[in-house]
Chains A and B, each alone.
Chain A
Amino acid sequence: MPIKRLTIGLLFILISAGLIAIGHSSLNQLACEGQPINNNVEPTQAQQILGDNVIGQSFVSPRDGLNSIHIFFLTYQRPNTHDVTLRLLEASPDITASPPVEIFSTTFNAATINNKAWQNFTFPEIPDSSGKTYLITLQSLQSVDGNAITVGGIERNVYAPGSAFLGTIPIPADMAFRACYHMTIAEKLQVLSKQITLNRPVPWSNAIFFWGSIAGYVLLLIGLFWRLIKLAL
């Protein structure tokens, strides 16, 4: 009996650890805004980030507390070894009107990037980011043809508040990116509730329906495990 109880305890710890890991990963992505779609399945060589090719994406921050950016990278399924520099610049609404101001810059090696995967860049929170226009740029002076990465995205201007850039020229496309904000868990869930109920008919337009369903799901799961414990003991 003690071994059984011990094992059940271990399983409980396993569940908790799993849920914490999932919760951590999920909270990092919740209430982020941007353009998550990548249909750049077979990127061309012309899309490589190398030399003077600067690839960028502008966006308007919907709220204060901007503190991280997620970008979807593609590696052409090969090892790439050169450094890439990411910059976050604050720009005027008309980006070409005045030179943007650098807010954050970081350099990473292309070898650390996974193919078709999101990469997170965290920086000190910008408390007054709401309504401001930002520009993400990626450049790699050392990269050469055959040893360079690129970004995922969509060859359409689907993200209305911003656009992709090649150098300083806007192009009708959008990078796959997310901008994330410093928020409490409750605030994040509130944003999710708004997103999930947008344009939905009754009863789906009410967040209580979704959270009630999830609460019911959790209760049923607890009931099932309670039965299982009784069965095991």
Chain B
Amino acid sequence: MLFVKKWALATRQLRSPILESSLILLVGLTLVRGLIYLSIFPPFLAPDEPAHFEAIRLIGQEKKWPTHEVYLTTPMHPQMDLIFRQYRIWTLVGLYSPRENLNFTSNLFIYYYPPQVAGIAIQGDSYLMLYHATVAPIAAMLASFDLVSQIYFLRFVSVLFATTTVVVAWSTIRFVFPEQKIFALAVTSFIVFWPMHSHITASINSDALAELIASLFFLVLVLTYRKGITIFRGIVLISLLGLATFTKPTVFFLYPTLVAVLIIYIGRRLRWANIVMGTLIAILVAMTWIGSLFLFENSNGGRSLLSLFSSPLRYPNWSTYVSLDALNFYIKSLNFAVVSFGGLFGWSNIHIPWMWVRILAVVLLCVMLGVLAFIYQNLWPGGTNRDNLSRYQKDILLIFLLAILFSAIGLVAPLMVNQSPSWGIHSRYYFPVIIPIALFCFLGVRQLIPTPFHTFLLPGWLIGWILYEIAIFWVVLIPFLFS
């Protein structure tokens, strides 16, 4: 409550009537889009949704912690198979029903979904369960509803998480760039209109909560960096880190990010030379990289974190990371990453047309060049600082950049360790850095546009996103789901 009051007080000076009403409209859009996305996708047709739902149901409705033993003894929801058949889910994802090819005759979830998708049930003895435990009381309240309604209501909880993220993103960018009104609008519109974001945050999945926790962390971080550390802010930051630890491995990048913040903060206070600060950050990046490889070698990609110390330590196998096969695999993974950014819906089986993927790859490459140009001009020591950024803004941008880098390390490390497409770079894995990514994407595009046309950058950016989103909805999703 105290934090909300302080936050409201701090934002008061940044208020602008037109901007504030735009935020209300964007919040409304997030809610309505969330409703539309959660409604058009049949139940369970979202990444790992059956597994997440069953874990939540076991906690909330069966009052059992979802361990392996519990899955072996507790029947799955009695309507689950019926819903799979009624909505043709196995057909829509191009798989056989377990009744057809696995001779599934029991009523145990662990023999129904995980073997068919070569996946795992979400088990409380090895998986990070904060999301499931948080949502479980709502599942308990929904127990009397039919299964489809339960799924839709639980999806709506994710929509609420995403809506909060939009407000947090808005506030974060307004704190960092109070003069550049359009930055907050651009960043939030990226979050609101990105189709993959709408799909994942309208499904039962831990990604929406992971994103919200990381976004809150960024908000408190920019406040703290600007106004100084207090006991209260310190406790909030540490609490958010703690929550992140129990939510999803995709949020672990917050740890090295916090260390980077300390390096930059202390470096500025003690007036370290750029070379000293650069060296320390380079060491931090290298240590994060190596640490991630160790972590993912020993914890099933970070998912079995709780059993990390129960088995002998395995060392990274360096030679397999750089073989010719490995390089070939990395290129394919990059291609997958572009598809997943553009649109890879359902159980990663509903994708945008390949022609769109090629165009998107070119666009992303251009944006990346724009970002590099921006970094060179504004953040690199000796750059021209074309955008007249303050020291505070430069530091925050540097922290955001490092956060993206640490998040990328966290995504690439399991790929290197496992060399398996099942560890592909799904866009939802970098939702926790959505604020920095959205900001840098916009800055990259802005860099490519001549200054006299900057006035029209935001409308153009918005129109691009909206048209893309409408095209995805009406050309890709509706024909696939309803023909």
Residues of chain A touching chain B, judged by Cβ–Cβ distance below 8 Å, are 4, 7-8, 11, 14-15, 18-19, 22-23, 25-26, 29-34, 36-39, 114-117, 154, 156, 158, 178, 192, 195-196, 199-201, 204, 209-210, 213-214, 216-217, 220-221, 223-225, 227-228, 230-232
Dominant SS at the B interface?
A: helix
Contact B18 A217 (CB under 8 A): no
Smallest CB-CB separation from B26: which chain A residue? A224
A29/B479 in contact, CB under 8 A: yes
> Does B259 belong to the interface (CB within 8 Å)?
no
Q: A38, A158, A217: which has the most chain B beta carbons within 10 Å?
A: A217
From B22, B32, B88, A227 is in contact (CB under 8 Å) with: B22
Contact A201 B148 (CB under 8 A): yes
* B313 sits at the interface (CB 8 A): no
Contacts of B471 in A (CB 8 A): 18, 22, 25
Which of chain A's residues have a CB closer than 8 A to the CB of B96?
156
Write out the residue numbers on chain A whose beta carbons fall within 8 Å of the beta carbon of B466: 15, 221
- Cβ contacts B26-44/A at 8 Å (1 or 0 each): 1011001101100110000
Q: How far is the CA of A34 from the CA of B460 in the complex (A)?
A: 38
- B-side interface residues toward A, CB under 8 Å? 18-19, 21-22, 25-26, 28-29, 32-33, 35-36, 39-40, 86-88, 91-92, 94-96, 145-146, 148-149, 152, 181-182, 185, 353-355, 455-456, 458-460, 462-463, 466-467, 470-471, 474-475, 478-480, 482-483
Given contacts A26-B475, A30-B478, A231-B18, is CB(A14)–CB(B463) below 8 Å? yes
Chain A proximity of B184: nearest CB distance (Å): 12
Residues of A within 8 A of B86 (CB): 199
Q: Contacts A37-B92, A114-B355, A158-B88: A29 and B475 contacting too (C-beta < 8 A)? A: yes
| Chain B contacts for A11, CB-based, 8 A | 456, 459-460, 463
Residue of B nearest to A33 (CB): B483
Contact check: which of B25, B460, B474, B480 meets A224 at CB < 8 Å? Answer: B25
The residue on A at minimum CB distance from B91 is A158
- State whether A213 touches B32 (Cβ < 8 A): yes
Q: What are the 8 closest A-B residue pairs judged by CB atoms, nearest first? A: A39-B94, A26-B474, A29-B479, A18-B467, A195-B482, A224-B25, A201-B149, A217-B32
Q: What residues of B have a CB within 8 angstroms of the CB of A223 in the complex?
A: 25
Point out the residues of chain A lying under 8 angstroms from B21, CB to CB: 227
A154-B478 in contact (CB<8A): no
In addition to A231-B182, A232-B459, 15 A-B residue pairs with Cβ atoms within 8 Å of each other are A11-B456, A18-B471, A26-B479, A30-B478, A36-B479, A39-B94, A39-B95, A178-B483, A216-B28, A217-B36, A223-B25, A227-B21, A231-B18, A231-B22, A232-B455
Which B residues touch A25, using CB under 8 A? 471, 474-475
List residues of chain A with CB within 8 A of the CB of B455.
4, 7, 232
A210 partner, pick from B39, B91, B474, B480, beta carbons under 8 A = B39
Q: What is the distance, in angstroms, from B91's C-beta to the closest C-beta of chain A?
A: 5
**A209 neighbours in B (Cβ, 8 Å):** 39
| Min C-beta distance of B37 to chain A, whole Å | 10
**Cα(A25)–Cα(B185), bound, Å:** 30
Q: Knowing A29-B475, A36-B480, A232-B459 are in contact, say whether A204-B146 is a contact too (CB < 8 A).
A: no
In the bound complex, residues from chain B placing their C-beta under 8 Å from that of A199 are 86-87, 148
Q: How far is the CA of A216 from the CA of B474 in the complex (A)?
A: 17
- Contact of A224 with B483 at beta-carbon distance under 8 Å, contacts A37-B92, A213-B35 already known: no
Chain B residues with CB below 8 A from A201, complex form: 145-146, 148-149, 152
A11 CA to B467 CA in the complex, in Å? 12
Of A19, A158, A231, the contact of B470 (CB 8 Å cutoff): A19
- Expressed in whole angstroms, the minimum distance between the Cβ of B334 and any Cβ of chain A is 18
Across the interface, which residues of B come within 8 angstroms of A115, CB to CB?
354
Nearest Cβ distance between residue A18 and chain B, in whole angstroms? 4
10 cross-chain CB contacts under 8 A: A11-B459, A32-B483, A117-B353, A201-B145, A201-B148, A210-B39, A213-B39, A220-B25, A224-B462, A225-B459
Are B18 and A22 closer than 8 Å at their CB atoms?
no
Within 8 Å by CB of B91, from A30, A154, A214, lies: A154
A107 to B164, CA, bound (A): 56
The distance from the CB of B335 to the nearest CB of chain A, in whole angstroms, is 13
Report chain B residues within 8 Å CB of A213: 32, 35-36, 39
Give A204's nearest chain B residue, CB to CB: B39
B28, closest chain A residue (CB): A220
> How long is the Cα–Cα vector from A2 to B148 in the complex, in angstroms?
53
Looking at the assembled complex, report how far the CB atom of A113 sits from the nearest CB atom of chain B, in whole angstroms. Answer: 13
* A156-B354 CB under 8 A given contacts A32-B479, A224-B25, A227-B22: no
With both beta carbons as reference points, the residue of chain B lying nearest to A196 in the complex is identified as B482
Task: Check B32–A23 contact: CB distance below 8 A.
Answer: no
Least Cβ distance of B173 to chain A in Å?
16
Report chain A residues within 8 Å CB of B474. Answer: 22-23, 25-26
Nearest B-chain residue to A26, judged by Cβ: B474
Q: Give the chain A neighbours of B22 by CB distance below 8 A.
A: 224, 227-228, 231
Shortest beta-carbon distance from A175 to chain B in Å: 14
A187–B459 CA distance with the chains assembled, in angstroms: 34
List of B residues within 8 angstroms of A214 by Cβ? 36
User: Could you tell me the distance between the alpha carbons of A184 and B463 in the complex, rounded to whole angstroms?
Assistant: 28
Instruction: Determine the residue in chain A with the shortest Cβ distance to B453.
Output: A7
